[in-house]
Amino acid sequence: MRIVAVGGPKGGVGKTTTAVTLAAVACRAGLSVLLVDSDRNRSATDWAESCGDRLGIDLADGQDTGDLARLRAAGGYDLAVVDLPGARAGGFETILTGNNGATPTADLLLAPTPAETMDLRPTLRVLRGEVAPLRLDYLCVFTRVPSYGLPRARQQAEVLDAAGVRIARTVIRTYTCYNLALDNGQTILDLPATGSAERAQQDYYALAREVFTAAGLHAKVNP
Ligand SMILES: Nc1ncnc2c1ncn2[C@@H]1O[C@H](COP(=O)(O)OP(=O)(O)O)[C@@H](O)[C@H]1O
Ligand SMILES: [Mg+2]
């Protein structure tokens, strides 16, 4: 089982959206998927429950850091996606250092962030200062990027990549369909593949390919 944790120091950056959507992509790619909600706000749980069986993934409570630390031993799935709260405490620490204080619980920390400085700077500080020194791979990904910010975000990603920051080539663009899907108990994958919904789906399919490769998962993402 591979464990991908979605986290970072900031809230409202698209962590839960990324965790749930990636889990849904993985499920459609034929993987057995466990979604672990370690945020007290229970946003991933509420969303997954509103989707019902259609989502096709199992849900687990990850509030207890001990349970989170033992996640690998639980096994039984191809992939566990952990939705972390927007903070560096609790579950985030456990993902970094595991139950013995030294072995990361996850195989990959995926850190979504808008490309704006106020979000990016604290995220990079945590990734470079706290995650990189550990034996934990990370991947930063730009999320919630409005169309007017796309050229700058792509350029920034190139600059960061050249500076040795592990950053996804995929940029997740801002579309209203994310909230439309959420309000209807769906993910964007359930929306008809036309217009902006199709572009949003393409973004997450592309990100999933990068994440699965980085996490050592073999799955064919086939939109
Ligand atoms: N790519 C996107 N385009 C538009 N809205 C988005 C996008 N990603 C997330 N959102 C919205 O932004 C808000 C915060 O997202 P969420 O995934 O809950 O962030 P976090 O888990 O980091 O707090 C939600 O209303 C969500 O629907
Ligand atoms: Mg969240």
Q: What is the pTM of this model?
A: 0.97
Supply the DSSP string of 188-200, one letter for each residue: GGGS-SSHHHHHH
CATH of domain 2-215: 3.40.50.300
Kindly give the distance from the C-alpha atom of residue 81 to the centroid of ligand 2, in angstroms, as a whole number.
13
Q: Is 98 a pocket residue for ligand 1 (Cβ < 6 Å)? A: no
Ordered by start, the domain boundaries in the chain are 2-215
Residue stretches of the chain with pLDDT short of 50: none
pLDDT digits (tens, 9 = 90+) for 121-130: 999 999 999 9
Ligand 1 atom nearest residue 11's Cα: 23
